[in-house]
Structures are given as C-alpha cells and as structure tokens.
Amino acid sequence: MEQQQQQQMQYQQPQADEQKIEYQQEEDDEEAGAGLPIVRLQECGINVKDIEKLQQAGMHTVASVAYSTTKSLTAIRGITDVKAAKLLAEASKLVPMGFSTATEYYESRKDLIHLTTGSKELDKLLNGGIETGSITEMFGEFRTGKTQLCHTLCVTCQLPLEQGGGEGKALYLDTEGTFRPQRLVAIAERFGLSPTDVLDNVAYARAYNSDHQNSLLIQASAMMAESRYALIVVDSATALYRTDYSGRGELSARQMHLAKFLRSLLRIADEYGVAVVITNQVVAQVDGGGGMFAADPKKPIGGNIMAHSSTTRLSLRKGRGTARVCKIFDSPCLPESEAMFAINEDGIGDAE
C-alpha cells in the first residue's frame, strides 16, 4: 500500500509541476501580450494570407488587432465581417483588455522608464524625464529649443537604464527639414557613446505632405516590430497640416486627419512602450482671446484635438542668452511648474 501511495505521489507531482509551468507560461504571455507578433494568430486558426493583409495595413502585433474596431478591419481588402469578428475574438484572448485593480496598475507604473533630457533641472520637473508609453508635446515659437531637445533625446534614449536611457533605438520623422546628424555626433561624445553607433541607431525619414506623414507611421510600426526602439520623434506634427489645409472650409477635414495621425502615434506608444515626442508650432491669438493684455498672446495650434491627444504638454519660451524656460502646461500627474535649461554645443544641459 505504501509503495502504491508513493507511486501515486510521484505521478501527481510531475502533473502539478506541469500545471505550474502552464500557469506561469500563461502569465508570461499576458505580461508580453501587447508585444506579441501578429504571426501568433496563426496558432488561433487565422489564415496566413489574412495575416499578410493585416501587416500590409500596418498591423504587426496582436495588440494592434485587438485595439482595432470592426469598421477599420473590414476596410482592409479581403477582410469580411465574419473574419473581423474572429480576428477580434482571438486577439482579445491573447491581449489583456479587461479590468485590473488600481494596485496592480500602480505597481506596473513603478517600472515605467523615463528618458533623461540631458538637464537635471528639466528631469526633476518631469519627475525623471520623458515618460515612455505616452505622448509628450513640446510647443513654443522658433528658437525655443524644441528641435534641440529632440536631438538630445535621440542620443539619451540609447543610454543604459541606470543612466536614464531606454537601451533602444530612435526614430525621427522630420517635416521641416531641421534634422542635423552632426548634432548627434557632438551629443554622443558628451555621453561617452560611439558617434557611429549612435547614428546607426537613429532611423530618419522626411515627410513631404500630411498623407506621407501618415504612411510613414505604417513603416515605423513594421520597423518597431523587428527591433527594439525607445523613442519616436515627430518634428513637427502640425507643420504640414498648416499648408495642406487652408481656411475654415477645410478645418474639419484637417482636424479629422490630424486626429487619426495622433491616434496612430498613441497606438504605437501603447503597443511598443516607446516614448513619443512631438513638437508643435504656435499662433498669435487675434480673435479677442486676451489680446495685447494677455500674459502670452500665443497659443499652440491643433486645437482641442491636439490638447486631448497629448498626455503631457510642455510650453517652451526664450530666456536670457542660451537659457530657455520649460513650463508644465498640462499633465495628469505633474504639478504646474517651471524649470530652466540651456542649449549648449553638446546638447541640452543645465542653465548656469
């Protein structure tokens, strides 16, 4: 009897261990749910050709399918209502999209990576730097340091985590022709990085119109599915919209197009956990919104669409000499405050 009991225990123990391994595997899959490649849907019975159609439409992760609507999926040629329903059902099984406790969410945010700006004062203002997984908007008039901050972040995102970096590549989408790789060389030398490696780890593209700007995000999503990226920069997000659309007659169409572009950026931030930094231009208020007696008669363009899409909004203005002032204009967790920084030959630093 004792021998039989021992044998039963031996048989039961491996089964229990196998169950633990399966449970652990399920937990690991849930944690990595947002980053699962779209080819995993083959295991759920999705046709290879349908997956290729989704990839051509810019969907490269299971999360990108799970976050989509039936309308957007059926807009893809060859995807019927039945196929869209199955895609959403299978993708939602792999990507956690239900409720969780505030405690769990709080614990997950503790591990959130922040990218250093190169300025200690600015990092202090931003509670550690530029937050990953969300959109940070920087707006201000010309020569306030928007592009210089973007260049510095392209280098600092490649630093190790313990140095305030993201250990990833950067993607730079330029709409104004202001990207200068020689600036990256000087900044890389400041942080002790190889200039050659830094330049190789920055993917650059020039957008020539608002439609092209949107299509480049599809390419960006494909690149991020293949390699580790920590930052995507759009400098600037609104410049092309100001020229492609004119007058109040095209205002509605412009805002809808801009909203879709910003939504695509937010989805990339959600799917890949990258920091999204966009710059914005300003316009003088001439419609009676404060007039000449206002403290700052300039406001960022893009209207409420831009305001609601950005998680954190930073207002930049000129100071004395090389000094610039950054103000928290809007944030869900940062108090309204200011910090000074400087534009140096080797990137953004602290003001003297």
Does 159 score more than 80 pLDDT? Answer: yes
Return the pLDDT at 7: 45
Residue linked to tokens 């590549």: 169
Comparing 15 with 109, which gets the higher pLDDT? 109
Mean pLDDT of the chain: 87
Return the pLDDT at 158: 97
Q: Under a CB-based contact definition with an 8 Å cutoff, are residues 342 and 323 in contact? A: yes
User: Encoding tokens for residue 86?
Assistant: 């199955």
Does 1 score more than 80 pLDDT? Answer: no
Quickly list H helices, the chain. 2-31, 48-56, 62-66, 70-74, 81-94, 102-110, 120-125, 146-156, 181-190, 195-200, 210-226, 239-244, 251-272, 303-309
With helix as H, strand as E and coil as C, how does 56-70 read? Answer: HCCCCEHHHHHCCCH
Q: Render pLDDT for 243-280 as a digit per residue (tens, 0 to 9).
A: 999 888 999 999 999 999 999 999 999 999 999 999 99
- Mean pLDDT for 175-184 is 96
Binned at pLDDT 50, 70 and 90, residue 26 comes out as very low
Q: Under a CB-based contact definition with an 8 Å cutoff, are residues 170 and 232 in contact? A: yes
Return the pLDDT at 293: 55
229 pairs with which residues across the strands? Answer: 169
Q: Render pLDDT for 109-139 as a digit per residue (tens, 0 to 9).
A: 988 999 999 999 999 999 999 999 999 999 9
With H, G, I as helix, E, B as strand and everything else as coil, classify residue 290.
coil
- What's this model's pTM, rounded to 2 decimal places? 0.85
